[in-house]
Structure 1
Amino acid sequence: MQYEVHGRKEAAATVLLSAGLGGLGGFWLPQLAALSEQFRVVLYDHRGTGQNAGPLPDGHDIAAMADDVVQILDSLGAARVHMVGHALGGLIGLELALRAPARLDRLVLVNAWGRAEAHTARCFAMRRQLLLHVGVEAYLQAQPIFLYPAAWLAQRSAQLAEEAVQAQRHFQGSANLLKRIDALLSYDASDRLDQVVAPTLVAASRDDILVPWTASQKLAAGLPQARFWLTAEGGHACTVSDPAPFNRRLVEFLTAG
């Protein structure tokens, strides 16, 4: 597993950031400056994407993705880290908290869930059909609709067109993407949430159209040491579209005594 280390040196506490379905560490660039002043920050591309591209095995699941994180921690020589995960990355964080609780200090889950809601499954079914029956270009053109608020999108047409070109150039491949969608939809930690001992910040956006904010509320209610933070707007990718409020809350949570 390839990864990048930013921010302070080894003596600082480590924060590992795990992206959502896209899988790329670059998703967290809006958080990098805010975290790098106080932490050693680790960005990585999920297996099957970016710097860790390659065919995924059949049955690739969230447990295997959590094992990849453990591999990175071992390579870093990091006994314990804070982990921040967005959507799919949040599921990886949950599984790490369950499988290797001694490796985790604090956990941050952004627009994540303990078990996918029917609405979220419907959205992913639609995206799967786009990919299979219309094609990669249509899938990537539709992707921002699920990620960002309409007004934010309307102001960035040229930027989004260029991002779609880059996304197609670095696309993880239909086979890998479908396996990763299957992994996130089949994951169910709802009956194990009470076993998570790490202090957890559950963050959500009220206008997320992919993952209802109530799914995060339910997730927080099931975690023994969770705090719930809800922002009014920003969409599913509120960490990108409106990063400042989230960054403040994130740093406050990670540095609290």
Structure 2
Amino acid sequence: MFSSITPETGWLDQTYPYVRIGNGPKTLLVIPGLGDAMFDGEYGSTGAVLAWRGFGHFMDEYTVYVVSRPRGLSDDQTIETMARDYARVLETHVGSASVLGISMGGLIAQELARIRPDLLERLVVAVSGCRLSASSRPMGREMRGHALDGEWIDIQCQLHEAMFTGARRRLYPAYSRTLGRLRSPEPATPSDVVVSIDAVLAYDGSDRLAEIDPRTLVIGADDDPFFPEEILRETHAGLPDAQLAMFRGAKHGVFLERKSAFDNWTKRFLEGEETQVRQHPR
């Protein structure tokens, strides 16, 4: 039970908000997605509970660190410079680890693996790929406009529609626009959202995939508007040592909607269970 686990929260180097859960003998670093820029940076007890819900499946074997980007990003930040920040986190605080990058975090994780393969044991690129799909770029620019205007609910609704299927896709945006306005996202530094979106829009690592040495799992969904099947396959094909796992009939939030299967696949990969390219049914 969560009550028997003592989480640790705080700031690494007084710069990187983090939460640590579990006490397994191995280490897993989680690099979060764009939503990381949209909260206040203080994990606290609520953040610890959310980390446990998100990554508790790994706690028996791993000590799990969820590490955020700094608050107050400079305008010239890129995916590559963010990767160098995470390299310092591993070097100074965490040590060598397996790395799970989610969405935008998957872009950062690829660059981290490329520049410091000595710090990574295994790499999971989750609902992410070597670049955004061309068809999703207008949505990214629209979200950037909302960020400039401080329209956080609008960004949240767009993300919900891109992430979920079925009733969730209808109900979550409706909730955000009504009762959700009572607890609107509150970025610690609003410009961080713009900088993060710019970094994602600018990134294309397709010509550098062959430089990534750690064994990699590319895991996502065929109907993800940001990283659809063709991007997942392109990323997998360009990596020298990789496995592809893909869910059919799912979107960007497959790691939440099909959490048990997603976590099991990821955990098996991290534990070294080798499988062929697989496609999970609807």
Kindly report which structure 2 residues correspond to 1:202-241, keeping only aligned pairs within 5 A, or say none: 202-241=218-257
Give, in whole Å, the separation in 2 of the partners of 1:180 and 1:157: 22
Deviation at 1:130, TM superposition (A): 3.4
Q: 1:22 to 1:209 in 2, by over 3 A?
A: same
CA contact (8 A) 2:97 2:120 kept: yes
More moved, 171-180 vs 220-229: 171-180
Aligned partner of 2:118 among 81, 86, 102: 102
Q: TM-score, normalised by structure 1?
A: 0.86
Aligned partner of 1:72 among 67, 71, 89: 89
AA paired with 1:76? Answer: H
Q: Hey, what does 1:201 align to over in structure 2?
A: 217
Deviation at 1:31, TM superposition (A): 3.7
Q: Hey, what does 2:192 align to over in structure 1?
A: 176
Q: 1:218 to 1:163 in 2, by over 3 A?
A: farther
The answer to whether structure 1 residue 37 and structure 2 residue 57 are counterparts is no
Give, in whole Å, the separation in 2 of the partners of 1:158 and 1:226: 39
Is the partner of 1:227 in helix, strand or coil?
A: strand
Give, in whole Å, the separation in 2 of the partners of 1:15 and 1:105: 9
Give, in whole Å, the separation in 2 of the partners of 1:217 and 1:44: 28
Kindly report which structure 2 residues correspond to 1:116-195, keeping only aligned pairs within 5 A, or say none: 116-132=132-148, 135-154=151-170, 165-168=182-185, 170-195=186-211
The answer to whether structure 1 residue 5 and structure 2 residue 20 are counterparts is yes
Give, in whole Å, the separation in 2 of the partners of 1:77 and 1:71: 9
Aligned partner of 1:19 among 5, 29, 32: 32
Compare relative contact order (CA 8 Å, sep 6+) and give the higher one, 1 or 2: 1
Deviation at 1:84, TM superposition (A): 0.5
CA contact (8 A) 2:157 2:172 kept: no
The answer to whether structure 1 residue 58 and structure 2 residue 75 are counterparts is yes
Give, in whole Å, the separation in 1 of the partners of 2:148 and 2:138: 15
Is the partner of 1:57 in helix, strand or coil?
A: coil
Give, in whole Å, the separation in 1 of the partners of 2:23 and 2:150: 45
Is the partner of 2:34 in helix, strand or coil?
A: coil
Deviation at 1:145, TM superposition (A): 1.0
Give, in whole Å, the separation in 2 of the partners of 1:33 and 1:149: 24
**Root mean square deviation of aligned Cα:** 2.4
Percent identical pairs in the alignment equals 24
Q: TM-score, normalised by structure 2?
A: 0.79
TM-superposition CA deviations, 1:91-116 (whole Å, max 9, x none): 11101011111001100001212122
More moved, 91-100 vs 125-134: 125-134
List gaps (5 residues or longer) in structure 1: 49-54
Is the partner of 2:218 in helix, strand or coil?
A: strand
Give, in whole Å, the separation in 2 of the partners of 1:66 and 1:42: 16
Q: 1:249 to 1:165 in 2, by over 3 A?
A: farther
Give, in whole Å, the separation in 2 of the partners of 1:72 and 1:188: 24
